[in-house]
Amino acid sequence: MIRRLYDDPRLVILVLTMIAVSGMAGFSTRMTREDPVSKVRWGYVSTRLPGAEPVEVESLVSEPLERILREAGAIRSIESASLQGVSLVFIRLTDEVKDVEQAWLRIQDKVAQAADKLPRRASVPLLVDEARWGAHTRIVALHGDSDRPVPPGILARWGKELNNRLSFVPGTRFTEVFGVPVEEVLVEIDESEIAAAKLPAAEIANRIRARDSEGFDAMSQSDRYTLPVSSSGDLIDLDSVRQIVVSSDGAGRQLTLGDLADVSRSERFPRSESAFVKGRRAVVVATRMDEAYGISGWTFSQQEALSDFQAILPQGLEITAIFDQQSYTDQRAADLYQSLGIGLALVVVVVCLMMGWRAAIPICAALPMTLGVVFLLMIPFGISLHQMSIAGLILAIGMLIDNPIIVVDDLQRRLNHGDVARDACRGSVRHLTTPLLGSNITTILGFTPILLIGGPTGEFMEQLGWSVIASLIASLTLSLTIVPVLAAWCLVPAGDVRDVSRRHPSQLYMALLRFGMHRPLAVILLTVIVPGFGLLAARSIPEQFFPAAERDQFHFSVRLPTHVSIAETERIAKRARDIVMRHSTVEEVALFVGRSAPKLHYSMVGLEDNRSNFAQGLVQLTSESVPLDLVHDIQRDLDQELPEAQCVVTLIEQGPPAPAPIELRLYGSSLQELSDLGRQAQTLLMEVPGIIHTRMSLDAGGPHLALAISQTEAEPLGLDDERISGQIRDYLDGIVVAEMTEQMESIPIRVRLSGAEQLRPERVLTLPIVTETTPRRATTVDSLATWTIDEQTFSIYRRNARRCNIVYAYTQAGTLPIQIENAFKEEMRQSGFSVPAGYRFDFGGISYERDSAVGHLLAYSAIVLVLMASVLVLTFGSFRLAFIILLVATLAVGLGMFCLWAFRYPIGIVAIIGVAGLLGLAVNDSIVILSECKAGAAHYRTIPQSVFSATRHVLTTSVTTVAGVLPLILRGGDFWPPMMIVIAGGIVGATVVALGFTPACYLLLGGDRSTTV
């Protein structure tokens, strides 16, 4: 093949043209994103059981669902929260499952089966997966253009219309609406009227429901036409509701709903959620783009839809963009492409300086050719352009140039020794195929664990590994085909073919090599000092497994006691917003009350739905990054000025979503014992520096009015517990019975006790209970029951079929949670913290995710090391030489740890992957040295001469690798520098190891001492 390419330049031109065109096609058709697409492995099943206590919800709903869901398989953990009238069952899939969509379909089938095994009054279980876990692509808000309040009905109608329009923008996967005011027709009945009319709320609701007519009642047909017949019962305005007859007597007197109740139209109160943007009531629409679309085109289409919508908005309303991922995607891509360009330029300069301009032509030509092949391969593999895949290309620049350098350098030496160009070309390919295969396979194996980690961490990092591996394969293929042909055309024999080692200062270098090879043990000891220190210092390196995301945003949460109303939460949350807005670098705060905010990043957690005591704020800064001092100041101000609330300021970080950085999970059967243990743990946690707040999943629920129904009193009246509790529930919560149709909108009608939102315990006890006897009469709650006020259980938490109390600990922004967790474990040990027999505890949070990712990485790394050793044995045909390379790999780990220690970077997933990649890179130079030593022995060259002959391309490949990653190091930040420092510093150290340690070991283990001089 080499002869055909050399003899037919037209074939080479065609191949180069094909690579160029295919590469441009691959690049232009790739979707651009900020981060890789991660599969959703989290979800939850929501089921309502009206009127049930948490203990009932646990036994009747949560436990049956857990048992059935476990049968679906591919589930890593099942957790449940049993609340007042609500069951939430959280599901996490295993990291190993590949077909995530199929796994969710099986779970959906199990959820459908479970519906038949739940109590009749339970709602249909609803599986919520992607909508709550994936990050939104764009978030916009509709609100008033001034501080004058916008009527809730107008805001709701236009907010729904905005959501409708954005839903139909091509490429929109789904939308989610926040803060929509819920309008209703409220039928409020005073208890005195109920007692006088002897009509329970449920019966009044039935009368309203009977009046509401839906659709055609009948169809009259003849041989020529059909005529629909309908009854006039539609409820079209408040008067039609007031005129509904609820009862009549034998004298013809009728009692209408208007006589019995106040009928009005208003926003539902208490509302379940609200949103505020620019301090004004707002409706927020968050949208997610479909993965098959490009973000630029989709954003343009949505902006057109927003412009058209803005043009028809009534005066007093405006639209504000809260979040636009395209701006971050474009900025991230621009920075990385700039780093890629700088890296390419540095590599070209280094090659020209160290190899000469003629040799630089085929070597540098390999760069765009390799990138073209990689962009082409992205098409069938479905790889997108985002920060991981682009960074992989940057990392690969210095690596992929190694193969062309080695080929061109070997071919130049053959030309210098008198070989003709064609023979030199063929000879270089035959000589280098095996060692290049060996060195490239070992490098590829070094990055293979990144592809195999699996789970959220693996899905985030794997395309970096793919880019490096694809680049190396493309570079190797081109270096054994096109590059030697181009080199044979470009290179000429050097004018001076004397032994380069006889030139000055090369004589000094040769003398140093000879001196070292006479003292191999001393050389080995000197070269292992730094790697050995790095291995010893690894224990002292702080650990930050997931680095912070590079965003100009952060968020804070406000949490109050569970019995607090949403109105009080709104008041406190607005005060929190005012405190945050006092800082000059804060541009805006979007506030969400009663539920979690939209997700700006995939690592955010969105599980706080229907929580009247919870609020979350999204903070936008004017600066390009988040200063830690600002976050600390805001945290201090919130804690000082809002002591009644638990406020937590959180940075946006990479990594899987976790409710809190540190989680202590306590397992047992007794809720009281679990609560006591949790309080002990909270006390210990607050003594650990860096902890700002703690809370428990087993929350105290506040005061609870408990009624004990007397059967002796209720039975003669035809009443039982269910009927009495049903009437009380109807009074307090209300009954949605029908809908009032207004143009294209349907407004629910709710029957409720007047002033139910302000009930005190004494009023509850005097509520009328209508008997089932004939004739009916009305009695009161306190005549049928005794009452007590105690503390209710707000929630019962379970994990993997066991009751569990999770203690959440929040750390100060910018601190290292794993370090703080280790300090807490030491505090537990010193204090003698223990749990009774039958109880146990473990840890969740960031350390749980770390252990999972590192466990997978180490497991696959062990397999890769065995494969790497096998490749080396086959390459050299020697176990001793393969052992030398494995020693070099061990030293590479020490070099990587030393670099982290020296530059004061924490160790995390990015740095660990850098070390894994360094294993493959660091051995390349040593493989070249050993190959030269073996070949030199066959030609009666000394070891110093063999090392000297390989020094130029060893140095060149090392310098180009460092030059390739240097832009990402200089760019700064928290994400890339740890990995790139490990690789750059490790390669520099590995070069010294290759030129000293490797030949010294070869001499001791496999070489002939007569070849040292």
pLDDT digits (tens, 9 = 90+) for 899-936: 999 998 888 888 888 887 787 778 888 888 888 888 77
Closest by CA to 542, choosing from 853, 917, 974, is 974
387-400 vs 402-416: helix axis angle to the nearest 10? 20
Q: Are residues 110 and 69 in contact, defined by beta-carbon separation less than 8 angstroms?
A: yes
Q: What is the pTM of this model?
A: 0.86
**What is the rounded distance in angstroms from the CA atom of residue 455 to the CA atom of residue 473?**
26
Long-range CB contacts (< 8 A, 24+ apart) of 369-372?
A: 369/16, 369/19, 369/474, 369/478, 369/482, 370/400, 370/471, 370/474, 370/475, 370/478, 371/23, 371/471, 372/19, 372/20, 372/22, 372/23, 372/24, 372/26
Measured torsion, CA atoms of residues 350, 356, 358, 363, in degrees rounded to the nearest 10: -30
Q: For 728, which DSSP code? A: H
Residue 567 has pLDDT above 60, yes or no: yes
Coil, helix or strand at residue 594: coil
Residue 649 to residue 639: CA distance in whole angstroms: 10
Domains 41-129 and 508-540+878-1008 are alike in CATH topology: no
Q: Which residues contact 461 (CB under 8 A, 6 or more apart)?
A: 388, 450, 453, 909, 913
* Cα dist from 504 to 11, 501, 992, whole Å: 44, 8, 21
pLDDT of 1010 > 50? The answer is no
Which pLDDT value is given to residue 505? Answer: 63
Main-chain phi, psi angles of 585, to 5 degrees: -85, -5
Domain ranges of the chain: 1-30+356-494, 41-129, 200-219+228-259+703-791, 508-540+878-1008
CATH number for the region 41-129 comes to 3.30.70.1430
For residue 783, pLDDT beyond 90: no
Angle, vertex CA 483, rays to CA 482 and CA 485, nearest 5 = 70
Percent of the chain with pLDDT over 70: 94
Which pLDDT does position 311 carry in this prediction?
Answer: 92
The region of weakest confidence among 141-145, 321-325, 673-677, 905-909 is: 905-909
Q: What is the pLDDT of residues 637-671, one digit of tens each?
A: 999 999 999 999 999 988 778 889 999 999 999 99
Task: Count the Cβ atoms, other than its own, within 10 Å of residue 858.
Answer: 12
Which of 1005, 999, 871 shows the shortest CA–CA distance to 933? 999
**Average pLDDT of the residues in 513-517:** 88
Which residue is listed with tokens 């009080």? 568
Nearest to 125 by CA among 201, 66, 204, 212: 66
Three-state secondary-structure class, residue 567: helix
Mean pLDDT of the chain: 86
CA dihedral sign of residues 220, 222, 227, 232: negative
Determine which of 20-29, 521-530, 759-768, 881-890 has the lowest per-residue pLDDT on average. 759-768
Using an 8 Å Cβ cutoff, are 854 and 454 in contact? no
Q: What gap in Å lies between CA 349 and CA 562, rounded to an integer?
A: 65
Indicate the fold that domain 1-30+356-494 takes in CATH.
Multidrug efflux transporter AcrB transmembrane fold (1.20.1640)
For residue 675, how many other CB atoms are within 10 A of its CB?
A: 17
Lowest mean pLDDT among 355-369, 513-527, 597-611, 674-688: 597-611
The better pLDDT of the pair 981, 860 is held by 981
Pairing type for strands 745-753 and 183-189 reads parallel
Homologous superfamily, domain 508-540+878-1008: Multidrug efflux transporter AcrB transmembrane domain (1.20.1640.10)
pLDDT score of 314: 92
In sign, the C-alpha dihedral spanning 504, 505, 508, 512 is: negative
Q: Please list, in sequence order, all residues whose beta carbon lies within 8 angstroms of the beta carbon of residue 1006, skipping any fewer than 6 positions away.
A: 878, 880, 881, 884
Q: Which two tokens stand for residue 409?
A: 């350098």
Could you read off the pLDDT of 404-441 as tens digits, one per residue? Answer: 988 888 888 888 888 888 888 888 888 888 888 888 88
The HSE-up count of residue 463 (CA atoms within 13 Å, CB side) is 24
pLDDT tens for 44-74 read 899 999 878 888 999 999 999 999 999 998 8
Q: How far apart are CA 782 and CA 785, in angstroms?
A: 5
pLDDT digits (tens, 9 = 90+) for 132-170: 667 899 999 999 998 888 999 899 999 999 999 999 999
Class of domain 200-219+228-259+703-791: alpha beta
Confidence of residue 497 (pLDDT cuts 50, 70, 90): very low
CA 326 to chain centre: 18
CA distances from 666 to 167, 608, 684, 728, 984 (A): 43, 22, 15, 37, 44
Residue 641: helix, strand or coil by DSSP? Answer: helix
